[in-house]
Amino acid sequence: VIVGVARETATGERRVALSPETCKKLVAAGCAVRIQPGIGAGAYFTDAAYIDVGAQLAEDATAAADLVLCVQPPEPAAIAGLKHGTVLVGSLHPQADAARSAALQSAGVVAFPLERLPRTTRAQAMDVLSSQAGMAGYKAVLIAAQLAPRFFPMLTTAAGTIRPSKVLIVGAGVAGLQAIATAKRLGAAVEGFDVRPETREQIESLGGKFLDLGVSAAGEGGYARQLTDEERALQQQRLADHLKGIDVVVCTAAVPGRPAPKIITEAMVAGMKPGSVVVDLAAETGGNCALTQPGQTIESAGVTVAGPLNLASMGAQHASEMYARNVFNFVSLLLKDGALHFDWGDELLARSVWPERVEAGVTKA
């Protein structure tokens, strides 16, 4: 099996889907690994580190590949250059991009968008949403600490006592829980809330305080559902009062397949103390805060609102190590006796493959 990895071309993308560690494992499994020079530069993996473990450099690394690994989907022109039947594994979001999904279909690519994997125990080792959300939650808190004109921890000094910053994390999924843990380690007084009731225990186990806004909206598959208008009004009314005493808000709330829920209104921001900070990790899908400008940091009535994009890329080295392990664990399901093999009876393949397969038993030598 020829595995090919090209340089990521999306603006600002520093991560890579193959690390020297996973390259070594693929070579040990009998694959020929071809990489475009510089694939790991953004994550500080040198070409030499890949060559040392058996990779070959090739400017056209993906041209003859059977299996192509990526972080973000390749450009349509690059997809057109893949051979028919190439297996493409990465964060592909084909449903969100008509040009790319058309290119994938006309090139006859067998795509495995990893974000489509079910969130089951067995899929955890392949779960790029979780591994990358962890880095995003961590970085979001560091950005907030950087922007804040205040300390996070309590300090008792000769110049007097500084009270700890009050940090509120909105949404306690994977990113939110990592944000809570990170803010806690920096010494802030941390609160979190979510609409899934089971998050109370998770927030408390990290030393955070659960902010009860009286709204519970667990949906399917362990995710949240969209709130009704009444629930939303209740949540907002209680939150508006509470935010007046908060120094830093980190937003991470999401509902699968929908724009980010709007939780922090302009009026709520106006009610916050000057010098407060909102970091909106949901900026990519529109933001949880009404004032969020994706990719920008603005100030409104003394409150700084940041909407950073692709936070995982800011921690490219560890994010890539984790992403590459997720990819390798998934690819291991496809490698059998030195060939690619598709067990469509395995729900991890059957549920992630795009476009959806109806027929079973496809095997490719």
Q: Tally Cβ neighbours within 10 Å of residue 113.
A: 22
Least gap, CB of 150 to ligand NAD (angstroms): 25
Catalytic residue status for 14? no
- Interior/surface letters 10-35, b for 16+ CB within 10 angstroms, e for the rest: eeebbbbbbbbebbbbbbeeebbbbb
> Which is closer to ligand NAD, CB of 83 or CB of 232?
232
Written as six digits, the tokens of 39 are 């694939």
Nearest CA-CA partner of 172 in 191, 146, 153, 150: 191
> Which is closer to ligand NAD, CB of 75 or CB of 115?
115
Least gap, CB of 193 to ligand NAD (angstroms): 6
Which residue has 């690059």 as its token pair? 78
Residue nearest to ligand NAD (CB): 173
Catalytic residue status for 130? yes
Catalytic residue status for 50? no
Is residue 79 within 8 Å of residue 107, measured between CB atoms?
yes
Least gap, CB of 227 to ligand NAD (angstroms): 5
- State the residues that interact with ligand NAD by CB under 6 A: 119-121, 123-124, 127, 129-130, 133, 170-176, 194-196, 222-224, 227, 252-256, 261, 263
> Which is closer to ligand NAD, CB of 133 or CB of 143?
133
Catalytic residue status for 119? yes
Least gap, CB of 274 to ligand NAD (angstroms): 26
Give the helix/strand (H/E) hosting 56: strand 56-57
- Find the catalytic residue in 127, 194, 247, 280: 127
241 phi, psi to nearest 5 deg: -65, -45
Catalytic residue status for 127? yes
- Find the catalytic residue in 7, 36, 150, 223: 223
- Find the catalytic residue in 19, 130, 165, 178: 130
> Which is closer to ligand NAD, CB of 252 or CB of 304?
252
> Which is closer to ligand NAD, CB of 1 or CB of 260?
260
Q: Quote the Cα angle for 337-63-115, to 5°.
A: 70
Longest dimension (CA), the chain: 73
DSSP single-letter state for residue 149:
S
Written as six digits, the tokens of 7 are 């340089």
- Find the catalytic residue in 7, 119, 150, 225: 119
Q: Residue 299 pairs with which residues in a beta bridge?
A: 304
Least gap, CB of 328 to ligand NAD (angstroms): 17
> Which is closer to ligand NAD, CB of 106 or CB of 120?
120
Burial class (CB in 10 A: 0-12, 13-18, 19+), 265: middle
3-state secondary structure 66-99: CEEECCCCCCHHHHHCCCCCCEEEECCCHHHCHH
Dist. CA 132–CA 183, nearest whole Å: 18
- Find the catalytic residue in 124, 216, 237, 296: 124
Least gap, CB of 137 to ligand NAD (angstroms): 9
Which residues form the catalytic set? 119, 124, 127, 130, 223
